[in-house]
Each structure stands twice: as structure tokens, then as C-alpha cells.
Structure 1
Amino acid sequence: MSTHPKIVVIGGGTGLSVMLRGLKQKPVDITAIVTVADDGGSSGILRSEMQIPPPGDIRNVITALAEKEPLLSEMLQYRFRSGTGLAGHTLGNLFLAALTDITGDFVTAVAELSRVLAVRGRVLPASDQAIVLKAQMEEGDIISGESNIPKAGRKIKRVFIEPPNVKPLQQAIDALEQADAILIGPGSLYTSILPNLLVPKIAETVLRSEAIKIFICNVMTQPGETDNYSVSDHLKAVYDHVGHHIFDYVIVNNGEIPPQVQSKYAEQGAKAVPLDLEEVTKRGYKVIADQLILFRTYLRHDAEKLSGHIVQLVESWMARKR
């Protein structure tokens, strides 16, 4: 039995994968619970044609946690550029679809691919059923489909899932019940993070848990989702959907973003998420703020630094509980 802290990470999208690349280098036991609301691109096609949960976010997380050589991971992320019916699909998505067909079960397919790639930890879908994400906009109209919501470019009032009574994956609930730490984010607030928390029993189990609960806030706002949001706006959106304060700590970037990087993002309508410290602490959250960014082609979390903060928080939390 591993004596390492059991960390459960909830989310989806690129931000989660970046963080996991850092976290897998640490002496921790990782379980990633990943959204099944994706309906765009290759995932969306496979979801509707093969009646399986969308594989894209799961594939990204498996690749991030894989211990096998980079070429194999690169192959899984390879997107076909041509070929009738093939163009647009990633090899990893097709791999998961094939394994689902062979094993007769999506969850088994994920476990088998994880085994082949010597994944550090476990990757679990939030549910073994695909869910449809819908958003009610401020004006009251409803937009259906995870990929369509940000495209509307308007303020989201709330998101909800259909079917509302979708069953959570029992292994995901078990992992949350046994966790020493639960991390939520980074990732698209309305389309990657909240869909997981809306799966029945998941938020409730997080709430009941005695684990340390940490929210990792996005560095930049997301056009069509979190325009002009501050750190406290992100936390308020989670509170409004779940009905409770669920986090003990919030980890945020307070590092300066170079002006040329800011203007590059501004062209797409994104800007740095401001830390309204007074508002966040007033609501009872403890804040860890640090220079947490790296810029290569895109702005990303510094996975090494971020995972260092996470492990430090988890270890001191566990020491206090002993």
C-alpha cells in the first residue's frame, strides 16, 4: 500500500494536463476525475457515432500522466490532417474508441490504455455516460453543447447538465472519499470544471470530505466564459452552482505578465485574472499567491512551482491532522 498522499484532481482541458505533468514528478498518489461533457471536434464525432463518452479530455490527461517515452505520447496526440472520415481525429481518441469496442466498456478502455502507457496514477471519467452541457445566459435563453457555449460570447448565468440524474462513476466517488487532498482547476470554469461538480454526488462527496480542498485559479480570463472575471468571481461561480464554500485554499498567480504577452492575449479577448485579495479572504479562503507562470508559445502554469505549493500544503494539512 502506498503511503503517499492521495490527491484527487477534478477538471479537464489543457490547464489540468500541464499541472499533472508537474504533479506526477512528486511522491503523491494521483487520481484524475475528468469531464465527459465535450462535444466538439473529434470527441464530438466519436461520441455521437459510437455512443461513447467523449475521449478528448481523458486522452490529454492520460498523455500528461504517461511514463512511456515521448514519441508514444506524441503519437496519441497526433491529429490526422487528411483522409475522408479521418481528418480531424486524433489517434488517441480512435484508440480509446477501439478499446471501448473491444472491451465493451469505456472505463475499462481508459484503464487499459493507462496500463499500456504506464500512467502514474488513475484516470477516471466523472461518469461512464456522456453528458450534454447547457448554459442559461443572462438574457434567459439556453445554449446547448459544451463547444457552443463560449462561442455565444455572452455572459453565462448558470450551466446545467442533461440528463440531470446521470450516474457518477463509483470509482470516482470512492477516490474522493479516500482522498487526502482534492484539487479543482485549472481549466475552463463553465465547460471543464463545473460539469464535473454537477454530476450528482460528486460535489456532495467533495463537501463531506475531510481532505484539504484547493482551487487552482486560471491565469487568464477565457473569452465567452469568464470575461472580466476576478479570482473571487471564479469562486462565486462555483459557490452559486454548488451552494456551498468548498475550498480551504486558493492558489493564484501574482507574477507580472510581460506587456507583449498581454497584448497577444488581448487580441483574443483574454486578460490576466486580477486577484481581489480582500474579497477572497473576506469569504474565508486562504490564498497562496506566487509567480506561477511560464511563457513559451502560450502562457501556462509553471508546473514545477505549482506542484511544489500543492505538495507543501497537503503535507502540512496531513501533519496537522495526525
Structure 2
Amino acid sequence: MPPFSGLSEVSASATKLKDSLPHLLAPFLSRRSVPSSESSSRMIAKKKTRRLQNWLLPTADLFRYVLLAAGGFLVLLLGIHMSFQYVLQALFNNVGVTWDNIASQISGQPDGRQVTHFVGGILMAIGGYSVWRGTRGFFRRLGSVAATPGKNALVSGYLKRQQLARGPRIVAIGGGTGLSTLLRGLKQYSSNITAIVTVTDDGGSSGRLTQEMGIIPPGDLRNCLVALADAEKRMTDLFQYRFSAGTGALSGHSIGNLLLAGFVEQAGGDFDEALQLASEVLAIRGRVIPSTTDNVTLRALMEDGSTLEGETTIVESHLKIQRIYLNPAHPRPHESAIEAIREADLICIGPGSVYTSIVPNLLVPGIAEAILESDALKAYICNVMTQAGESDKLTAAEHVVALQANVPNRVFDYVLINTATPHIDLVEKYQASNQELVIPDADRIKQMGYRPVPGNFMSESDYVRHDPMRIAARLIDLLKKI
């Protein structure tokens, strides 16, 4: 029996949806947790631990070798002492007596030990100062070389990697081009990134590979791998290259999808190992994992009461979506996804298609629950433009309603909304495709119990889309303030 029977009364018009915002959100607002003293203490302890890690990580490898050298030097001295202690003792005694005699003659006093101690103290001070000055100069020089463009890229790359290693632990949840856009900005601030990606795409190259090989759709995972890549542009361009029509069985396939499929076969069907191999090839900053490794499809209850299955079928129907479900309803969550959410400092949801990129991840059992229990900063990045057939005419507040109506828990507190307006020519271009600028109704979002974060998050180009650096900078700034 389909999960949609008896749910046709959920269907409502857009006007009715607007009027019933407070009512729809009441159950979710009541679930909003109030930080207890125990939770606050845990967050403070977490911040202190993170601060210590941030201080140590940038030069952790360097200090490891410095300590190794210092320890080896001490062991060497101990070995010399044990092997030659009698010879050295006599030698040092002779040197000591000679120096005492010289000091006695210079000072004109019968006992030259006071002068010896005084000079020894001066030598220790000079030696200590030399060590401090040399160490400080070493690090300053290392920093100046790294800051000089084109001058010793090896050192610069090393310091950059160490700096990113101290970045916050970030989880980004979504799919499609929205998530990959966000990742391009976040990777400039941290390499501790986990992208949790939806796996319900059943169209194009991904759909064909799923049908022919039984693997989960690789397309969105590939886009995220490329977005996090630190490899040369030629390599990332190769991953994204798509065979043109007329190339036979390869027509429409991207090389990246085929490589992932090949890695899966090489790994004996282990998709996690295949992703690891691809990550090593692209030298990515972070990791990319699916929300589930089970093969799942989307099912939707539409505004006319009908039910449709398959992402492509749902989107191409151009009917308004009321509810989204997974089939099967209870796929196994990826264990690494749950673990990453629990350890995160920042959890980003979106941007992306509400029903086909974001909600499917949150419907995987355990994902939304882990987000709810997390102490991380949780933010939803609202789309800049509406999507034809999926979020027609929805305002920013209505995007939030659509998300929470499909997810059993309140999974974010902050909502990033774009307030910038593109050139009129661009607006008209998108209107021709039934897409409109999302209205940034920040006051309504605030009334719903969320914290709106308005700003110019739009890229200034021939397309209306998010600017990855602007979004990432604002998210990191929010994280620093809490």
C-alpha cells in the first residue's frame, strides 16, 4: 500500500500556505531546545578544546620533527657520556682547573670560581637568547617566504595545508549545483569538511549507470569531489568532461562518472573505497560521502492528489509538490555521516532544490535526529531564485515552511537570505523560464522563531547564483561570534 493513501487532504493552494505559516510551524517551534547549563558547559569545554587544537595544529608536523631532533640530541649526549665518561671527566676536570687558574689571575683573587660562575651565567644567557632569536627568525622567515607569491610554492603549500587543518569542522548537506557551489567557498577556510550528498538522481549519466551497474548515482558526488579538489585544473576539467551526442554508448556520460563506476568495480562494489580513490586522485580538501549507500528513489504527493515516483518524473510533471518520501522509506544512514554531524562545529543545509536535493538527505533515518542533537551552529542557505516546477513563487519564508513540513525535526536556527537584486535583463531572462527572484521576507522568518541573516550573497555574473566566497565568509563570521 503506497504511503500516500489518505494524505490528499494535505494538498493546498499557495495562498492557503502563506496564511497558515504559524500553524504549520507550531509543532517545530515547540521542539526548539533551550540550552541547559549542562549543554552550555559542554559547548564551552568544546570551544576550549578546539582553541587548543587550533593553536597546535598549524605547526604540528614541524614540532614533531623538532622534538624528535631534540630528543635524539639528548640521547646522543647520554650515549657519549656512558661510553666515554672516564676520559671526559678527566678532560673536563683539567679544563675546569685551567679556567679557574686563568680567572684567578685575571681577577687577582686566590679563588676564581666566582668569576667562573659569573662568566658561565653570561654564556647561558647568550645561548638562550641565540636560541630564542634563531627560532623566532626561522618562523618569521618561513612566514615571509610563504606570503611571497611564486616564491617557494612548496613551503607556501605546506603552511596553507596546516592552516586549513586548523579550520572548523564543517558538515554541508545537499546536492546538485547548490552544494558544490558552497563547497568551493568553504574549502578556503577549512579542510575539515564533510559533504553529505543526496543519491536520488535518476536522470542522465547517473541514472544510466545506476540501471546498468546497480551503483548509487555518482553525478552529485562527482560535482562535490571536483568542488573540493586541490588538483590541477586539467584534472578537474577532465572529471567534468561530458561526451557529446553521437559518441555511441558513451554519449552523455561524464568521465568523472565513468571513473567512479570503474573505481567501484575495482573496489569490489565498495562505493566508499571508490570515493576514497577519487578523493586521492583529486587531492580534495575534506571528504564526500552519500547520505546512504542504499539504492533509493523519490516518491512525491502532488497538489492534485496524485503520486509520482522518480526525481526526473516528479520535476518534469510541473505539478506543485506537497510531500516527498523515500522508497524504501528506511534506508540505512551512512555511519560516517552521523559521526560527522555529531562532531561538527558548523552544519550547512543547502543551497539547492528543496524537494530533490535537501529533503531526501534529511529523510534518511538518523540524519535529522543527529542534527537536532548537535551543538553546532546550524544554518540553512536559501536559494536565490525559485525553481520551475518545484518552488514556484515561494518566498524565503515559504522555503523554510516547505522544508520543515517534510522533516520531523527542527534542523536549523539561522537562515541566510539574499537581499541583492540582479540586473533587470537577467531577471527577465529567468522569468522567461518561469523562475523568479526569491523574496527575502526576513520579518516573517523572524516571526517563525528563526534568525534571518540577510546580505548580498549573489554572484555578479551572467547567471543569478550564489557567490561561494560571500556565503562562506558570512558563515565563518557567524561561527566566530557564537
* TM-score under structure 2 length normalisation: 0.65
1:106 is aligned to 271
2:19 is aligned to none
1:84 paired with 2:223, answer no
String of CA shifts for 1:101-142, please: whole Å, max 9, x gaps. 000211110111011111000100111112101111011111
Displacement of 1:162 after TM fit?
Answer: 0.6
Counterpart amino acid of 1:165?
H
Displacement of 1:163 after TM fit?
Answer: 0.7
Aligned pairs for 1:131-150 (under 5 A) are 131-150=296-315
Structure with the bigger percentage of strand: 1
Q: Secondary structure at the match of 2:331?
A: coil
Is there any run of 5+ residues in structure 1 with no aligned partner, and where? 318-322
1:179 is aligned to 344
1:71 is aligned to 234
1:41 paired with 2:198, answer no
Q: Structure 1 residues 4 and 295, CA, compared in 2 at 3 Å: closer, same or farther? A: closer
* Alpha-carbon separation, structure 2, partners of 1:78 and 1:38: 19
Displacement of 1:245 after TM fit?
Answer: 2.5
* Alpha-carbon separation, structure 2, partners of 1:134 and 1:314: 36
Task: Please point out which of 365, 371, 381 is paired with 1:200.
Answer: 365
Counterpart amino acid of 1:90?
S
1:30 paired with 2:186, answer no
* Alpha-carbon separation, structure 1, partners of 2:295 and 2:454: 36
* Alpha-carbon separation, structure 1, partners of 2:366 and 2:452: 27
Displacement of 1:244 after TM fit?
Answer: 3.0
Counterpart amino acid of 2:302?
M
Aligned pairs for 1:252-271 (under 5 A) are 252-271=417-436
Q: Structure 1 residues 93 and 279, CA, compared in 2 at 3 Å: closer, same or farther? A: same
Structure with the bigger percentage of helix: 2
* Alpha-carbon separation, structure 1, partners of 2:419 and 2:323: 28
* Alpha-carbon separation, structure 2, partners of 1:269 and 1:146: 19
Displacement of 1:28 after TM fit?
Answer: 5.2
Q: Secondary structure at the match of 1:229?
A: coil
* Alpha-carbon separation, structure 2, partners of 1:199 and 1:143: 19
Q: Secondary structure at the match of 2:256?
A: helix
Task: Please point out which of 395, 410, 415 is paired with 1:250.
Answer: 415
1:21 paired with 2:160, answer no
1:52 is aligned to 215
How many residues align structurally? 317
* Alpha-carbon separation, structure 1, partners of 2:443 and 2:462: 33
* Alpha-carbon separation, structure 1, partners of 2:477 and 2:391: 29
Identity %: 44
1:220 is aligned to 385
Displacement of 1:84 after TM fit?
Answer: 1.4
Task: Please point out which of 405, 427, 435 is paired with 1:240.
Answer: 405
* Alpha-carbon separation, structure 1, partners of 2:327 and 2:376: 29
* Alpha-carbon separation, structure 2, partners of 1:242 and 1:31: 21
Q: Secondary structure at the match of 1:33?
A: strand
Q: Structure 1 residues 28 and 72, CA, compared in 2 at 3 Å: closer, same or farther? A: closer
Displacement of 1:296 after TM fit?
Answer: 2.5
Which structure has the larger Rg?
2
Q: Secondary structure at the match of 1:48?
A: helix
String of CA shifts for 1:130-156, please: whole Å, max 9, x gaps. 210111101111111111212111111
Query: Cα RMSD (Å) of the superposition?
Result: 1.1
Displacement of 1:276 after TM fit?
Answer: 1.5
String of CA shifts for 1:266-305, please: whole Å, max 9, x gaps. 0110000101122100111111111111143321211111
Q: Secondary structure at the match of 1:49?
A: helix
* TM-score under structure 1 length normalisation: 0.96
* Alpha-carbon separation, structure 2, partners of 1:18 and 1:246: 21
1:5 paired with 2:168, answer yes
* Alpha-carbon separation, structure 1, partners of 2:462 and 2:233: 19
Q: Secondary structure at the match of 1:149?
A: helix
2:13 is aligned to none
Task: Please point out which of 167, 183, 195 is paired with 2:332.
Answer: 167
Counterpart amino acid of 2:261?
A
1:320 is aligned to none
2:130 is aligned to none
Q: Which structure's relative contact order is higher, taking Cα pairs within 8 Å and 6+ residues apart?
A: 1
Q: Which 4+ runs in 1 deviate beyond 4 A?
A: none
* Alpha-carbon separation, structure 2, partners of 1:94 and 1:129: 20
The 8 Å contact of residues 171 and 346 in structure 2, kept in 1 or not, is answered as yes
